[in-house]
């Protein structure tokens, strides 16, 4: 069979930075190092860091006083920051800089006296963190219907911001609904939306023109990985989310000649290799990489880690 790899796929700069932060903290700080929530949404990555000594917790009260506490790439609320300061935890913030940018945009809009409409998925860690960082009136909207149901006058000055794991395509209809309903609307330029999310979705749309079935490598709780699978389905391609090669079902491939593979922004290349290896066990495989955007963006590490290393 022919296997075509999407480009770009896998780790984005924010995920690389977050993992690097934990690894450097393990190398330079007194053990143990605690991480609030999964550093990124990938079990393989989390288990690898656990094996090296990282301890993952859900809440700060599980961390002993004066210990090193790392905030995940998804960001945290001001309340979590304050609790960490009160307990004198040694905090290292691994929040993705693009998530921080959304926080700052939302607060700037609120400071202008606008009602902030946050386009995102309820319950996602990034959404919970962002909602807890904006001082002012904020409404979470997930769809056009949510916009129409907002209990505020149509002449209310509003501003919108978006969850970083949503692309321009994901948010277009909701933004159009906001602009159609409200007479005074501002929001970020489309180029401010996470480059990695948009690039991976564009790559999948291109990939689906050439394949018979799509395999998305990523964890079940990864928002951007699930969206990649949904895009494949929307384009009429049988699409499956797999954590690794063990989850590949040979029945999916019966009668299929060309298999497309991509990976969510929190899935490492080693898992893509594992899926390719699983396919190779079923028969000869010809691998081709699709041309696409080459990402060269990197994010600076926190100063305290740079100084320590």
Catalytic residue list: 126
What is the C-alpha to C-alpha distance for residues 192 and 107, in angstroms, rounded to an integer? 16
With both helix axes pointing from N to C terminus, report the angle between 195-207 and 168-181 in degrees, rounded to the nearest 10.
110
What is the C-alpha to C-alpha distance for residues 61 and 82, in angstroms, rounded to an integer? 13
Instruction: Find, among 161, 207, 164, the residue nearest to 185 by Cα.
Output: 161
Mention every residue, 6+ apart, whose C-beta is less than 8 A from residue 26.
Answer: 33, 49, 52, 53, 54
Phi-psi region of 37 (alpha: psi -120 to 50; beta: other; left: phi over 0): left
Mention every residue, 6+ apart, whose C-beta is less than 8 A from residue 76.
Answer: 36, 95, 129, 132
What is the C-alpha to C-alpha distance for residues 116 and 136, in angstroms, rounded to an integer? 8
Instruction: Find, among 303, 273, 297, 301, the residue nearest to 287 by Cα.
Output: 273
């Amino acid at each position: 069979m022919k296997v075509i790899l999407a480009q770009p796929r896998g780790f984005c700069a924010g995920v690389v930075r977050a993992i690097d932060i934990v690894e450097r903290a393990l190398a330079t700080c007194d053990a143990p190092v605690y991480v609030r929530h999964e550093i990124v949404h990938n079990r393989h990555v989390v288990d690898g860091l656990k094996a090296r000594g990282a301890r993952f917790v859900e809440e700060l009260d599980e961390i002993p006083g004066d210990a090193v506490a790392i905030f995940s790439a998804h960001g945290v609320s001001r309340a979590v920051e304050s609790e960490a300061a009160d307990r004198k935890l040694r905090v290292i913030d691994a929040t993705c800089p693009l998530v921080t940018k959304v926080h700052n945009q939302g607060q700037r809009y609120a400071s202008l006296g606008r009602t902030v409409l946050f386009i995102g998925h309820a319950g996602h860690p990034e959404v919970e963190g962002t909602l807890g960082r904006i001082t002012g009136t904020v409404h979470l909207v997930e769809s056009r219907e949510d916009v129409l149901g907002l209990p505020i006058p149509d002449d209310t000055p509003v501003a919108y911001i978006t969850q970083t794991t949503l692309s321009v395509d994901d948010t277009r209809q909701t933004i159009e609904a906001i602009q159609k309903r409200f007479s005074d609307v501002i929001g970020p330029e489309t180029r401010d939306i996470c480059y990695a999310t948009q690039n991976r979705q564009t790559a999948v749309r291109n990939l689906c023109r050439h394949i018979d079935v799509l395999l998305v490598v990523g964890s079940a709780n990864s928002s951007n990985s699930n969206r990649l699978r949904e895009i494949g389905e929307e384009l009429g391609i049988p699409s499956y989310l797999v954590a690794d090669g063990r989850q590949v079902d040979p029945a999916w491939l019966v009668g299929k000649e060309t298999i497309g593979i991509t990976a969510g922004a929190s899935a490492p290349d080693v898992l893509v290799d594992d899926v390719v290896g699983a396919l190779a066990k079923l028969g000869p495989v010809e691998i081709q990489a699709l041309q696409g955007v080459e990402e060269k963006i990197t994010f600076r590490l926190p100063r305290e880690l740079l100084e320590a290393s």
